[in-house]
Structure 1
Amino acid sequence: MRATHTANTKPVAPEEILDVVLIGGGIMSATLGAMIAKVQPDWSMVMFERLGQIAAESSNAWNNAGTGHSGLCELNYMPDPDDPAKAEQVGGLFHLSRQFWAALVADGDITDPAAFINSVPHMDVVFGERDVAYLRRRFETLRSLPLFSAMQYSEDPEVIAAWAPLLMAGRDRTEPMAATRHERGTDVDFGALTGALVDVMTKAGAQVRVRHEVTGLHRNSDGLWTITGQDRDAKRRFTVRARFVFVGAGGYALRLLQKARLPEVRGYAVFPFGAQFLRTDNPDVVGLHDAKVYSQASLGAPPMSVPHLDKRVVDGRESLLFGPYATFSTRLLKHGRLIDLFTTLRLRNIAVLLAAGVQNLALVRYLIGQLLSTRRRKFAQLQRFYPTADPAEWYLVQAGQRAQLVKPDPHHVGVLTFGTELVTGADGTIAGLLGASPGASTAPAIMIDLLARCFPHQETRWGLLLHRMIPAMAAPLDVNQRHVDDNLT
């Protein structure tokens, strides 16, 4: 189920009007494409991807941590231990995602769910009396909620050692520490999942065009969109027309929406973040750690920089990742260009971007510190989790590039955001996704929202089909449905 789709050789006729064009070959476009293939299989649909295969950017397994974001271990979703709203929301959205994927398995559209999702417990670990008190309070708040009721808590070093042996090996056990654990956590290979969803599309007749870079979007007087771009292999231009366009191009999404002259993104800007991880494939080490263990972020660090020691399962092989360590580049995609950031600058968004920077000086200092950090300093952070880690067994890998959204704000001129935002045109003929985490884990919910906004006239008929597949659309926190997603892991 690895994402290796190559170009479909059947050309799109210039006079053909497509029902749907998907720009970008990642998890977002693939989710929307698969959803439309299920509710409206007779629609014509084409996906354009600028690289030589789909899911080669942020959706690639090694370009993200693979955490099925469910609020079980992400402390940044619950900074106030008495307010579970965000954690509960994210948990409900991931429950919905699992139901959608499970429905595709039940319908025979996906035959091997183990190729993209595996059961990996989710844990938190914290150190020091203040953070122990925080985690204890968080646990007490969450344990009464259905999606978190199976969570366990301990301050006993022996129990924590049984849950995650690497955390306790060689550690001074007099230091106050606490941990939570939930068995129903997951590790997700979003690249393999993207491939599976694209298969659902193509079986319904959709076409995939890799090495096709979209460079222009123009709304015609007849209401149709003209999409232009470059066939990077043939070195020639291509043009297609479509009734609906989705821009799921990651860091390039804002620039394309700007070219479409979408008023909804006026003043929007993006700020790029990259990340590195330490990785080991040593089976003697990997075999001792069966969890994704998250902790508290450093002061001034952005939410997606929360340190975590993760078990990964990619192509059936287990590894461990630790990180992330922030990096910076003016590229907006890992395989982008150094001029990327500058191509998004407009008179309307320069002040917005500068204001967000001034208001986040702690973040700026954090990024500078990360860029100046030596490998020894980075490894010392791993040893905070895994005291007996051997530097010879770990190597640095570069992960994906994220374009965080910076939005206009009437009180602060501009604010830096760390979530995702679905932008839709006023007439519903174009939509795009901006921002980053926890996007991939919540892609089905985002696309359900998109279908409701952009195709309201189809809501009754499509809604019946989607509710059959995804009962959580009606009751996202009703886990008494005997987990219709149990056939996934």
Structure 2
Amino acid sequence: MNSNTFDQTPVQLNKKNVLPPIDVVLIGAGIMSTTLGMFIAMLEPNWKINVYERLHKPAQESSNAWNNAGTGHASFCELNYTEYNDVDKSINIEKALSINTAFELSLQFWAFLTKNNILKNPKSFIRNIPHISFVTDDKHISFLRKRFQALKTNNIFNGMIYSENSKQIESWIPLIMTGRNKNQKVAATYMEMGTDVDFEEITQQILNQLNKNSNFNIYFQHNVTSIQPHNNNTCWNISIINTQHKNKQNVYAKHVFIGGGGQSLNLLQTSGIRETKGYAGFPVGGQFLITYNPKIVSQHSAKVYGQSSLNMPPMSVPHMDARILNGNKVLLFGPFATFSGKFLKYGSWWDLFYSLNKHNLIPIIQAGLDNKFLIKYLIHQVTMSHKDRINSLKKFYPEAHIKDWSLIQAGQRVQIIKKNQHNRGTLQFGTEIVSSNNGSLSALLGASPGASIAVSIAIRLLHIMFNTQIHSSAWQTKLQEIIPVYSQYIQNNNIIITNQLIKNTRDALSLTFTE
């Protein structure tokens, strides 16, 4: 049931004959909250679920199709998901395997929803597009070669092709190879099973189904301002402002998940739980160069990722993506970093300032002192001219012309800063769940590869937030039905994925499968 008004009056829990607290409140209407909401609705159809979204419609921040590159992160092309050891010259692929496994869980979930007519027309939200890693100098070529050799030992990466042959690489990415110095050394890996994903479309289709449930309510233009423990910590008091009508009201919930992207940290801090102490956020925005020129767009049908500088955040990895947005095929190149105090694209310039307190001020200063390279990188990025950005593009696409490309603003991300084992603030890349001691209040902090691994995160949240129910036979049976390899997932956190399972999943989603 879709609504823009409150349906619950404040609850006085010490009186009789009053409304009980809501079972679950989800803050933010992006891919993460809707994924968790769908799991809960399937596991407990009678539970009441409320979603509060500050904007006028869902998936308008990080989940929006224009605010991310749409890459189905499976570690096929993202070089920063494999670590190189300078000492023994080895390649660590554990992170790549973990992310690939997590993305497979998302594919299985989407396949289940498609088979049950919850997600409709897979081509509307996911399509095949080759994932390619492309590098040019001896050091990076050596790394890519070793990376390929390490990955191909695992059957998850069956079908990946490695080449240092210019003509073969040109057949994969003609736009990138045309006009390039023929004496330049190049190398690339090619994975046909790569995907482009519209997370905004998935979010909307899931919400369309959830809205058919009378126990589900979503409220747009409702901004959550604080979350406080209530009634001896038996539930949570959530303060909300209806930004359209300017009225304020409190609602109460047994379980709360903050999936508000960059806003999650500030909301978590209002709860006062000790688990937030020492956490800080470092906001980084992104911009992309974009072209609609059909002569250019027709020459490139791949997601091509290069190599970023050492210790740079994931969003610094240069890549050129063919995408279909609003029915139009476009090419994006970037990202180019921006910096402001905002934690959300449509947030406040004061977000960073409001997040600072006596517990995290020193950690954020320490992280800044330890990451001078990142500060230098951001200064360079924000001072780039349009010509400078085109020159960066030419390293990928040598024949690029400035007249064909314009700049668009993408999403805003907030990297995590927290204390390490030495009690010193450190900058973290990736995502992290932070929860109250009983798990009833949880939040997702951080950035990439969040959307692609939303299902894996949702499963972890089910274990944290609903520790009693998760072990029931009813939940176990339903989860096994939804996620075929769920039992292996909870036993060893490293799914043994058979070729038949991968094929069945991709068949359901109309995707290519390569033996």
Which TM-score applies when normalising by structure 1?
0.96
Deviations 1:305-326 (A, max 9, x none): 1000011122332211100101
Alpha-carbon contact 1:117-1:186 (below 8 Å) kept: yes
State the one-letter code of the partner of 1:244: H
Aligned twin of 1:31: 35
Q: Secondary structure at the match of 2:335?
A: strand
What is the aligned counterpart of 2:476 among 463, 468, 479? Answer: 463
Aligned twin of 2:238: 227
Looking at structure 2, the residues matched to 33 and 155 of structure 1 have their Cα atoms a distance apart, in angstroms, of 46
1:83 pairs with 2:79: no
Looking at structure 1, the residues matched to 269 and 432 of structure 2 have their Cα atoms a distance apart, in angstroms, of 15
What is the aligned counterpart of 2:109 among 100, 104, 108? Answer: 100
- How big is the shift at 1:128? 1.1
What is the aligned counterpart of 2:52 among 48, 70, 74? Answer: 48
Aligned twin of 1:333: 344
Aligned twin of 2:455: 444
Looking at structure 2, the residues matched to 411 and 438 of structure 1 have their Cα atoms a distance apart, in angstroms, of 27
1:12 pairs with 2:24: no
Q: Secondary structure at the match of 2:83?
A: coil
Aligned twin of 1:387: 398
Aligned twin of 1:207: 217
- How big is the shift at 1:203? 2.2
What is the aligned counterpart of 1:216 among 222, 226, 234? Answer: 226
The alignment-based identity, stated in percent, is: 43
Looking at structure 2, the residues matched to 452 and 349 of structure 1 have their Cα atoms a distance apart, in angstroms, of 28
Which structure 2 residues correspond to residues 42-441 of structure 1 after superposition, within 5 A? 42-80=46-84, 82-205=91-214, 206-222=216-232, 223-299=234-310, 301-411=312-422, 413-441=424-452
Q: Secondary structure at the match of 1:356?
A: helix
Alpha-carbon contact 1:8-1:207 (below 8 Å) kept: no
Looking at structure 2, the residues matched to 235 and 9 of structure 1 have their Cα atoms a distance apart, in angstroms, of 11
- How big is the shift at 1:363? 0.8
State the one-letter code of the partner of 1:18: I
Looking at structure 1, the residues matched to 324 and 37 of structure 2 have their Cα atoms a distance apart, in angstroms, of 26
Alpha-carbon contact 1:147-1:477 (below 8 Å) kept: no
- How big is the shift at 1:447? 0.8
Looking at structure 2, the residues matched to 203 and 43 of structure 1 have their Cα atoms a distance apart, in angstroms, of 14
State the one-letter code of the partner of 1:332: F
State the one-letter code of the partner of 1:485: T
Looking at structure 2, the residues matched to 408 and 339 of structure 1 have their Cα atoms a distance apart, in angstroms, of 23
Deviations 1:10-48 (A, max 9, x none): 733444321110011111111111111111111111100
What is the aligned counterpart of 2:26 among 22, 26, 31? Answer: 22
Looking at structure 1, the residues matched to 423 and 459 of structure 2 have their Cα atoms a distance apart, in angstroms, of 32
Which TM-score applies when normalising by structure 2?
0.91
- How big is the shift at 1:370? 0.7
Deviations 1:421-480 (A, max 9, x none): 111211121111111111111111111011112212211321221111112323424132
Alpha-carbon contact 1:99-1:471 (below 8 Å) kept: yes
Q: Secondary structure at the match of 1:63?
A: coil
Alpha-carbon contact 1:146-1:477 (below 8 Å) kept: no
Q: Secondary structure at the match of 1:471?
A: coil
Moved more, 163-172 or 281-290: 281-290
Moved more, 30-39 or 475-484: 475-484
- How big is the shift at 1:145? 0.8
Alpha-carbon contact 1:37-1:200 (below 8 Å) kept: no
Structure 1, unmatched stretches of 5+, are none
Alpha-carbon contact 2:390-2:401 (below 8 Å) kept: no
What is the aligned counterpart of 2:486 among 455, 460, 473? Answer: 473
How many equivalent residue pairs? Answer: 485
State the one-letter code of the partner of 1:228: S
Structure 2, unmatched stretches of 5+, are 12-18, 85-89, 489-494
Q: Secondary structure at the match of 2:360?
A: helix
- How big is the shift at 1:134? 1.2
Q: CA RMSD in A?
A: 1.5
Alpha-carbon contact 2:2-2:217 (below 8 Å) kept: no
Looking at structure 1, the residues matched to 359 and 131 of structure 2 have their Cα atoms a distance apart, in angstroms, of 43
Looking at structure 1, the residues matched to 272 and 135 of structure 2 have their Cα atoms a distance apart, in angstroms, of 47
Alpha-carbon contact 2:363-2:425 (below 8 Å) kept: yes
Looking at structure 2, the residues matched to 434 and 201 of structure 1 have their Cα atoms a distance apart, in angstroms, of 25
Looking at structure 1, the residues matched to 392 and 380 of structure 2 have their Cα atoms a distance apart, in angstroms, of 13
State the one-letter code of the partner of 1:174: N
Q: Secondary structure at the match of 2:505?
A: coil
State the one-letter code of the partner of 1:63: N
Looking at structure 1, the residues matched to 346 and 182 of structure 2 have their Cα atoms a distance apart, in angstroms, of 45
Looking at structure 2, the residues matched to 386 and 329 of structure 1 have their Cα atoms a distance apart, in angstroms, of 30
Q: Secondary structure at the match of 2:66?
A: helix
Alpha-carbon contact 1:6-1:52 (below 8 Å) kept: no
- How big is the shift at 1:60? 0.5
Q: Secondary structure at the match of 1:217?
A: strand
Deviations 1:128-173 (A, max 9, x none): 1121111111111111211111100111111111111101111112
Looking at structure 1, the residues matched to 326 and 121 of structure 2 have their Cα atoms a distance apart, in angstroms, of 12
